[in-house]
Structure 1
């Protein structure tokens, strides 16, 4: 095996080891590991996935608000077919129901069922416990405030450029 760097390999190694690549990778790894931890605990304790919890959060956020299947897809950044399959599973589990919009026959609204509301409350407690343990507790109060403010600025910049 040749251990002498080939042309371009050193530049590629510098790029792969750059601070920006490393820092962004740390953000992605941390977020992915936390999401996997939350998903596993939710499946074990509540029988739902993290994505299902995200649907329930969206539906429970403003009681009485009409939420269309299309808006859910946009909020969750899922494809229309992915949202349909997810809602099919949630409907089969008795968590949500789909109803036609009284204002527009082309629109399907989604709402939680009483069972979905009960599962949501249990899942929200699991979610809060894990977020507190792995996202909040490792940081000082000041660091947590700076982190969430920075994440908000990043999200705003990405949303504004869309």
Structure 2
């Protein structure tokens, strides 16, 4: 290691320590840690992953709605093959079943089983407990309201930019 600083080393250090980098990193770290806590609690108490819960949320949101694997992949931002493997595991666990689409025989629809709905209700309670403890409770009510409002605005801006 030589005593001469590399070109741009100071500028790079300044950029790496900027408030924007720090603040966004804090958001990502907090979201990741919360997701890890949720996933661990769901695996321990319900035997499912957080991603499986996300599938069950989507399938249980509107009873009777026909949801294809393709829609699940899009909604959950998973690859088609990743979604297929996930649904295979969930089907093997008795949580969901594939049924042929009445409109298009090439399309498989996914629906929750009775066991899937029962598991979902247990998992939703576990999820709510962890979210309450680590996302809601640490903040004053006004701060929580401002945070969720700000996150909604960020999401809106990102959706509009994607259109």
Q: TM-score, normalised by structure 2?
A: 0.96
Displacement of 1:6: 2.1
- In structure 2, list runs of 5 or more residues that go unmatched: none
- Structure 1 segments, 4+ long, off by >6 Å, are none
The alignment's C-alpha RMSD in Å is: 1.0
Displacement of 1:5: 2.8
Spell out the pairing of 1:112-151 with structure 2 (5 A cutoff). Answer: 112-151=112-151
Match of 1:83 in 2: 83
**SS where residue 98 of structure 2 aligns?**
strand
**SS where residue 44 of structure 1 aligns?**
helix
- In structure 1, list runs of 5 or more residues that go unmatched: none
Q: Distance in 2 between matches of 1:35 and 1:72?
A: 19
Match of 1:105 in 2: 105
Q: How many residues align?
A: 162
Q: Distance in 2 between matches of 1:5 and 1:40?
A: 44
Match of 2:54 in 1: 54
Displacement of 1:3: 5.3
Task: Output one character per residue of 1:7-65: Cα deviation in whole Å (capped at 9) or x when no partner.
Answer: 21000000000000000000000000000011011001100000000000000111111
Match of 1:8 in 2: 8
Displacement of 1:104: 1.5
| Structure 2 residue 19 is matched with structure 1 residue 19 | yes
Displacement of 1:4: 4.8
Displacement of 1:106: 2.1
